[in-house]
Amino acid sequence: MTMTRGPNALVNVAAVLIFGMALLIGAAQAAVSASTNLAQVEPLYADWLDAVGAVSTIDSGLAGKVAGRGRGAWQARLRDLTARLDAALTEVDAARLDPEDGLALKAIRKGISDYTPEAPASEPQNPAVRCANAVRPADDATALQDALYACFEAIGSRIDFEGKPIVRTTALQTLQQIEGSERRKRLFLAFSPLWTAINGTNGTDSPYRRMMVLNRAEKRNLGRSPIDAAAATVGVTPSQVESWLLQVLEAWSAKSRGAALEPWDYWYASAGASRRLTSAIPRDSVLSTAKRFYRDLGADLDRLGVQHDLDVRAGKAPLAYTDQIRIGRRIGNAWRPMQARVSGNYEQGGLFILNELIHEDGHAVHFAAIRTRPAFFSLGDDLYFEAFADVPAWSTSEPAWQQKYLGQHAADGEALRELFSNVILDVAWGLFELRMLAEPARDPNRVWTEITSRYLNIVPHPELSWWALRVQLVRWPGYMINYGLGAVVTADIRQRIRRGSGEFDTGNPGWYPWISDNLLRYGSSVETAELLRRFLGRPVSPDAILAQLQRVGSVEMIAR
C-alpha cells in the first residue's frame, strides 16, 4: 500500500529534523566546551607534576634548589597549582568528553589523588621516633605502614655486624661473600632487630599483622586488590597469577635438589659468580659501568639528563628508587625532555649492587622515552614498569656481558643461578603477599616457611620473621607481586626484543630507539595488557622464563 503525505505532515517532519539538528549542534557545542575546559586543565596538571617533582627532589637531599627555586617557593607554587586545578576540574563535564579525553581526565584525577604531600621541612622526621609508633594501638593502616617504613630507615640502614653498622643492601650482598656458615648466620641474625620491629614475636597483635588486617578493611571497598591489578596488567585472572608463580617455583625447585640450605646460606650457595667477579666491580666503577652499558644500547644517561644520588647519608630513603625531577612535555613546537633522578644507598661495589643500579636506570630511560600528553606522562602499571627495568638488568648475568664490561666472566649456569636465586625470592615474596592479602589473619612466618622450604629448599625457621627483608612488604602491601609476576613479563620482553631488534647483552645502538618506538613511548595512554599484546604479538606467557630456568645450573652444597 502506498501512503500519500499531505502538507501538514511535511511541516511536522521538517520541524522534527530542525529540532534534532539543534540537539546535535547543542551536544557538539557542549562537547567542545568540555574539551576546551580540559585543554585548560592539562597544562596546569603538567605544571603541577613539575612542582611535585621539584619538591620531592629537594626533600630527597639531592639538591637544595631546582630550576633556581628552593623548597619554600616550590611548595607555595604546588599549593597554588593544586587550588587552581581543583577549581578548573569542577568545570569539566566528564560525560561530554570524547573517549580519549575521558581517559585523560581520569588519569589526571588519579594522579592528584595518589599524591601524598610531603611533610614541611620544619617538622621532625626522626625515623626512630616514627618507628616506635608501630607498637602503639592504631586503627589506621596507612599510619602503621608509615611507621613500619620508618623502621627500615632507623634499623635497616644500620645493621650492626661485627661492631660496624652497614646498610641493608650491603648486608644482603655480604651474605653472598663471607666464608663460613656460622659467620653468615651472625650477619643474618643481625637483622633480628628489624624483624622484631616489624613483626614483634609474631603474635596476632604484632605491628605487621595488625597492619595487614587494617589494610584489608580499608581496601575492601576499593574493588580491586594489588593482585587483581597485577593480573589485569598481563590480561589474566588472579588464579592464573598464582598458577604461574607456582610453575616458576616448581621449575626452580627442580634445580635445587640436595640437602636443604639454612636461610643464611641461601645467598652464598648461589653467588659463585659474584665472588668470582667482585674484584672487577669496585664501588667507584658501578656508575661508570652502568653508563657505558646504556650508551652501548643507544641510551646515553648523561645526555638524557639522568642524575644519580648513590651515597649513604642520614635521613635518606632506605630503598633504591627512580623518580622525576620534571616531566617531559611539549612547549610550543618543541619537546622539552624530562629529567630523572636515581637514588640508592651503595657502600660497596659488586654484581648485586650493579644489577640494582642498572634496574633503576631502566626506569630512567623508560621515563625519557615517553612521548605523550601530560595526562598520560607515567610509567604505567607498577608491574609493567618494574618488569621493563629488569630487561637490561638481567643482562649482567650473561657471561658475554660480564666479559665485555668486567673483563672476565662466570660460567653460564653459575651466573644465571645467581640472577635467578634473587628473582625466585621475588617470586616467593609475590606468592607470600598473594596468600597474605587473601587471608590477612594468617601467620606470616608460617606462610613464608611453607613457601621457602618447599620451593627454595631452605631449612624451616618459623620462629624467624626473615621474610621482612623488603621494605615494600610493609609500605605498600601487595607490591612484591610486581617483581614476582614481573619476572614472567621481563623474560617475555627480552625474548621479543631479540627477535625484533637483535641481541643486546653486549650492546646494540638500535635497542633504545626500537624499544622506545615499539613499547615505551606510550606512557599510560594504552592499557598495559593491550600494549603487551601488541608488542608480543600474543598474550603474556610464562614459557620464556621457564625456558630461561632450564639454563640455570644446579646448586652445589658449598655452604659450610
- As a whole number of Å, the CA-based R_g of the chain is 26
Beta bridge partners of 339: 326
pLDDT for res 190? 96
- Dihedral angle, C-alpha 182, 183, 189, 191, nearest 10 °: -160
The Cα–Cα gap between 311 and 390 comes to 22
User: Cell 615517553 sits at which residue?
Assistant: 370
pLDDT for res 260? 95
- What average pLDDT values come out for the chain (560 residues) when binned by 10 residues? 47 52 48 69 95 96 95 96 94 92 93 74 69 83 92 91 90 92 96 96 95 82 81 94 97 91 95 92 97 98 97 88 96 94 94 95 98 95 95 96 96 89 96 96 97 97 97 94 96 97 97 98 95 96 95 60
The Cα–Cα gap between 284 and 172 comes to 19
pLDDT for res 556? 54
Residue 166's H or E segment, with its range, is strand 164-166
The grid cell for 140 is: 589506621
| All residues at 6 or more sequence positions from 139 whose CB lies less than 8 Å from its CB, including other chains | 214
CA 160 to chain centre: 28
pLDDT for res 222? 60
How many residues does the structure list for the chain? 560
Q: Would you say 205 and 394 are in contact if contact means Cβ atoms under 8 Å apart?
A: no
Give the pLDDT confidence of 343-359 residue by residue, as tens digits: 999 999 999 899 999 99
The grid cell for 443 is: 601467620
The grid cell for 1 is: 500500500
User: For residue 177, what are the CA distances in angstroms to 201, 354, 396?
Assistant: 30, 15, 18
**pTM, to two decimals:** 0.88
Task: Tell which residue, 233, 152, 239, 158, has the closest CA to residue 198.
Answer: 152
DSSP 8-state assignment for residue 442 = S
Alpha carbon distance, N-terminus to C-terminus of the chain: 100
Amino acid at 538: R
User: For residue 465, what are the CA distances in angstroms to 194, 195, 203, 259, 319?
Assistant: 9, 6, 11, 22, 19
Amino acid at 65: K
The Cα–Cα gap between 108 and 103 comes to 9
Give the pLDDT confidence of 438-463 residue by residue, as tens digits: 999 999 999 999 999 999 999 999 99
Residue 160's H or E segment, with its range, is strand 159-161
| All residues at 6 or more sequence positions from 122 whose CB lies less than 8 Å from its CB, including other chains | none
Q: Return the domain boundaries, the chain.
A: 26-112
3-state SS class at 261: strand
The Cα–Cα gap between 28 and 414 comes to 65
User: Cell 579525553 sits at which residue?
Assistant: 101
The Cα–Cα gap between 55 and 103 comes to 27
The angle that helices 399-406 and 286-296 make with each other, rounded to 10 degrees, is: 120
Give the pLDDT confidence of 167-196 residue by residue, as tens digits: 898 999 899 999 999 999 999 999 999 999
User: Residue 92: what are its φ and ψ, rounded to 5°?
Assistant: -100, 125
3-state SS class at 341: strand
Q: Would you say 148 and 85 are in contact if contact means Cβ atoms under 8 Å apart?
A: no
Write out the DSSP string of 280-291.
G--GGGHHHHHH
Task: Tell which residue, 487, 485, 448, has the closest CA to residue 263.
Answer: 448
The Cα–Cα gap between 288 and 281 comes to 10
| All residues at 6 or more sequence positions from 551 whose CB lies less than 8 Å from its CB, including other chains | 412, 413, 416
Beta strands in 200-359 (DSSP E): 307-309, 321-326, 329-331, 334-336, 339-343
Task: Tell which residue, 209, 188, 149, has the closest CA to residue 447.
Answer: 209
The Cα–Cα gap between 207 and 199 comes to 6
Q: Would you say 340 and 322 are in contact if contact means Cβ atoms under 8 Å apart?
A: yes
